Amino acid sequence: MALKINKIVNGPIPDSFLADETKRLDSLKFDGQHLEVLDQLLLPHEFKYIPVNDVSDAFNVIRSMQVRGAPLIAVVGSLGLLLELNKSSELNFRAIREKIDYLISSRPTAVDLRNSVTGLIPILEVEGITDDVKLAKCREYLLNVYTAEKLQNRILVWNAYQELLSAFPGKEKFTVMTICNTGSLATVSWGTALGVIRALHSENRLNLAYVLETRPYNQGIRLTATELLHGQVPFKLITDSMAAWAMKNHQVDCVLVGADNVARNGDTANKIGTYMLAVLCKHHNINFYPVVPFTTINKNISSGEEIKIEERPASELLRVNGVLVGNSECPVWNPAFDVTPAHLITKILTDFGNWAPDALEEQIPK
């Protein structure tokens, strides 16, 4: 899948749009030779960057959820593989393919990672060029996963922002709701859904954002709240079970969410609880928007029924910050994601335009 396929809505994007980089947190540090990632399990109480030197390190920080968020997972996996290839002077196709499969297994629902690292395979299979040239092209490709994400994210956030202005003509300020964390801690830039909320605030178009705490990992209270406090964005934290009551009583204009996997028909997999929000939006006549980069579109599956849903350990539900809050023998079902059917989605907002779900497939390059 190509890394760049951009369509700017109502462009060009003004230089002033999200120009203040001090308003966002850095999910990683990369100087071309060394990679450090922010350990998100320690937030909000400690900001600590930990080194990632190879594929094994990348797998571990992704699997443990020290790093999370579909775009960021893809970048960290790609850079981990890049650093490992930088140590090698020989091309070993079998070994690289094993490392690709290993990385994908760290979070199997996150299609961005799969799309990014499997992009090496066509390079490896090209005939008529030397292994040295292939190795150089692989390194260039993996570095581009990192550099391209910033450009694509800026276009994504702009397109989504323009969609809201178009969908709500004359509206001065928006009240929105979101789940999980989809900001700079989930990307290497401003974020997806939370990036749009940041854009609304920077353009003085945000009234308030309702942030779901997002059990069981509490990404809303630990990560999204941290980002919004840092950026001085107006928000209120609510429990997941308060969403319906907030919609009924506080004039929520739209719900903005991220996604980890989008099928060709528009069915969308995201953090568990997202499907619940879509159903509530349908009842309350509220627009529901997944905000996703092109790399999240999974052209290999026709519907959400084919999306593999990762199930996490029971301990993650029974413990909070390592403290057991339930009986250790309590039976647990802990899916990390759910699938929102396309008919509950208003539009899917992307860096290649904004589309009704039934029009999405025809936009995907063959």
pLDDT tens across 14-29, in order?
Answer: 999 999 988 899 999 9
User: Is the pLDDT at 4 greater than 70, yes or no?
Assistant: no
**Which band of pLDDT confidence, cut at 50, 70 and 90, is reported for residue 1?**
very low
Same domain, residue pair 125 and 182:
no
Query: Pick the catalytic residue: 57, 101, 131, 260?
Result: 260
Specify the 3-state DSSP secondary structure of 292. Answer: coil
Q: Could you tell me which residues come within 8 angstroms of residue 55 by beta carbon, excluding any fewer than 6 positions away? A: 77, 80, 81, 84, 99, 102, 103
Q: What CATH number has the domain bearing residue 189?
A: 3.40.50.10470
Q: What is the pLDDT of residues 153-207, one digit of tens each?
A: 999 999 999 999 999 999 999 999 999 999 999 999 999 999 999 999 999 999 9
Torsion of CA 241, 71, 193, 285, to 10 degrees: -60
Same domain, residue pair 185 and 241:
yes
- List Cα–Cα distances, 101 to 3, 120, 256, in angstroms: 19, 12, 31
Whether the CB-CB separation of 157 and 103 falls below 8 Å is answered with: no
Which residue range forms the structural domain that includes residue 42?
A: 28-149
Average pLDDT, the chain: 94
In a domain, 215, yes or no: yes
Clarify whether 112 is annotated catalytic: no
Q: Which pLDDT does position 5 carry in this prediction?
A: 58
Same domain, residue pair 98 and 180:
no
**328-354 average pLDDT score:** 97
How many domains, in total, are found in the chain? Answer: 2
Q: What is the pLDDT of residues 102-126, one digit of tens each?
A: 999 999 988 999 999 999 999 999 9
Same domain, residue pair 77 and 185:
no
In a domain, 272, yes or no: yes
Same domain, residue pair 228 and 331:
yes
Tokens 């571990």 -> residue: 60
**Which band of pLDDT confidence, cut at 50, 70 and 90, is reported for residue 261?**
very high
Same domain, residue pair 111 and 195:
no
Q: Which pLDDT does position 366 carry in this prediction?
A: 63
Higher per-residue pLDDT: 322 or 84? 84
Q: What CATH number has the domain bearing residue 47?
A: 1.20.120.420
Q: What is the C-alpha separation between 117 and 142, in angstroms, rounded? A: 8
The residue among 341, 266, 278, 292 whose CA lies nearest residue 153 is 292
Q: What is the C-alpha separation between 356 and 289, in angstroms, rounded? A: 10
Q: Which pLDDT does position 110 carry in this prediction?
A: 84
**83-87 average pLDDT score:** 94
Same domain, residue pair 229 and 351:
yes
**51-58 average pLDDT score:** 98
Same domain, residue pair 203 and 261:
yes
The residue among 348, 304, 360, 354 whose CA lies nearest residue 111 is 304
In a domain, 14, yes or no: no
**120-135 average pLDDT score:** 93
Percent of the chain with pLDDT over 90: 89
Same domain, residue pair 65 and 178:
no
Whether the CB-CB separation of 235 and 183 falls below 8 Å is answered with: no
User: Is the pLDDT at 213 greater than 70, yes or no?
Assistant: yes
- List Cα–Cα distances, 118 to 46, 97, 178, 209, 340, in angstroms: 34, 8, 31, 36, 26
Task: Specify the DSSP element, H or E, that contains 48.
Answer: none
User: Is the pLDDT at 248 greater than 80, yes or no?
Assistant: yes
In a domain, 23, yes or no: no
User: Is the pLDDT at 3 greater than 60, yes or no?
Assistant: no
**260-284 average pLDDT score:** 97
Same domain, residue pair 207 and 142:
no
In a domain, 77, yes or no: yes
Q: What is the C-alpha separation between 347 and 363, in angstroms, rounded? A: 14
Same domain, residue pair 353 and 220:
yes
Same domain, residue pair 203 and 287:
yes
